[in-house]
Amino acid sequence: MRRVILSYKMVNKNICTNFLPGLVDNGLTVEAMRCAPTGPRSGYSLVRIQGPPEQCERELSDLDSKLGKWCTVQLTKHAPGDYLAMVSNNDCAICRMIPSTGCFVESARAEPNGVVSWTILGPDADSVTKLIADLRSTGRNVVVHSCRDQRSSTGLTAHQVKALEIAFDQGYYDIPQRTTLEQLAPLVGCSKSSLNVVLRRAERKLLAEFLGR
């Protein structure tokens, strides 16, 4: 199995992580955790929105009146500052493109300035390469941040493996370092402080295994 982390600036802005434009620029995080096609240009996603509780309340209040005609949203408040949205999209340009290559979306995260970061899993390198080529053929300026075989690691969680792979590929462990925790955090999909903890715990597990402790 192959995992690729890629990003590009939105061409068609009618994607599930952009169901309400401006959320990220106003300080919220928006991440699609599940994504599935329902037709040639339709699909649905489970999207998580997080941020300061008062800011979330302001941005998400009276939601139906702010939505475009291309989507419907069922919003649930999971906790203060933590919401889940079931987004049904009737104008998705890539919902069939990804599964047609044998790949699927692990997550999609909205970034500032209209950029979306995707974590994609594919059965092999050829499938991932075809998906990247298909995306680029539609005019998307795809940037590949990481592309690696997904191997099981004893004692490490999937999130820890993902964080380590991205950190390694981006040069976090190079001397001198080519990136920082602050730059890595959006690619992994967590805060800088959370990423620091994830990496330290993963590093400790690997060291303990290597040292036989």
CA–CA distances in Å: residue 113 to residues 5, 8, 81, 202 = 18, 11, 22, 32
Angle, nearest 10°, between helix axes 181-188 and 158-169? Answer: 130
What six digits make up the tokens of 200?
Answer: 């330290």
Report d(CA 190, CA 198) in Å as an integer. Answer: 10
Q: What's the pLDDT at 33?
A: 85
User: Could you tell me whether strands 2-9 and 29-39 are parallel, antiparallel, or unpaired per DSSP bridges?
Assistant: unpaired
Whole-model pTM over 0.85: no
Per-residue pLDDT of the chain (213 residues; tens, 9 = 90+): 898 999 999 988 899 999 999 999 999 999 998 888 898 889 999 999 999 999 999 999 999 999 999 999 999 998 899 999 999 999 988 888 998 999 989 889 999 989 999 999 999 999 999 999 999 999 999 999 988 887 655 578 888 888 998 899 889 999 999 999 999 988 888 899 999 999 999 999 888 887 776
Looking at residue 65, what DSSP letter applies? G
Beta strands in 111-189 (DSSP E): 115-122, 143-149
Q: Give the domain ranges of the chain.
A: 2-147, 151-211
CATH code of the domain occupying 151-211: 1.10.10.10
